[in-house]
């Protein structure tokens, strides 16, 4: 969706959770404290830009931000739009489903709209 020399934004293929993005640090590090102060600021600015773009495009009930890394010990943030009628709400998406619902997908050309919103917030991608 977007990238620069330090990180990249990918749309995660999580069925039922449209707009779920991962912001992945390119260089292998395990923890935020492995980054310099300037790198942390840049990285979080990208995470917040993704959150802002998703809020504008999808109007979710809530945004979830998570940096776990227990399974994949490489620095990455999950940016997840949540909806009151999604299968797991209000529980985390990794918990047991609360209800069965039809799969939700990005509306229209959601990928292009998200990419455009990221470009507007972060500038042209490169790497």
Q: Is the peptide bond before 90 cis (omega within 30 degrees of 0)?
A: yes
Cβ neighbours, 10 Å, residue 4: 16
pLDDT per residue over 34-80, tens digit each?
999 999 999 999 999 999 999 999 999 999 999 998 888 899 999 99
Q: Identify the bridge partners of residue 78 per DSSP, sorted by sequence position.
A: 22, 66
Indicate whether this model's pTM tops 0.85: yes
Whether 27 and 52 have beta carbons less than 8 Å apart is answered as no
Whether 75 and 65 have beta carbons less than 8 Å apart is answered as no
Q: In what order do the strands lie in the sheet with 62-66?
A: 2-3, 7-11, 21-25, 76-82, 62-66
The structure tokens listed for 44 are 């979080």
Contacts of 69 (CB under 8 A, 6+ apart): 30, 31, 75, 76
Q: What is the pLDDT of residue 126?
A: 54
pLDDT per residue over 102-118, tens digit each?
888 887 788 899 999 99
Q: What domains are defined for the chain? A: 2-122 (3.30.428.10)
| Residue 40 φ then ψ, to 5° | -60, -45
Q: What Rg do the C-alpha atoms of the chain give, in angstroms?
A: 15
Cβ neighbours, 10 Å, residue 11: 16
């Amino acid at each position: 969706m977007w990238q620069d020399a330090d990180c990249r934004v990918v749309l995660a293929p999580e069925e039922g959770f449209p707009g779920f993005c991962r912001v992945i640090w390119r260089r292998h590090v395990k923890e935020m404290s492995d980054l310099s102060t300037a790198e942390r600021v840049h990285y979080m600015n990208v995470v917040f830009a993704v959150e802002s773009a998703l809020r504008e495009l999808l109007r979710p009930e809530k945004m979830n931000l998570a940096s776990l890394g227990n399974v994949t010990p490489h620095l990455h943030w999950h940016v997840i739009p949540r909806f009151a009628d999604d299968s797991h709400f209000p529980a985390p998406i990794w918990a047991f489903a609360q209800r069965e619902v039809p799969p939700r997908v990005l509306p229209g050309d959601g990928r292009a709209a998200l990419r455009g919103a990221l470009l507007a917030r972060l500038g042209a991608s490169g790497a």
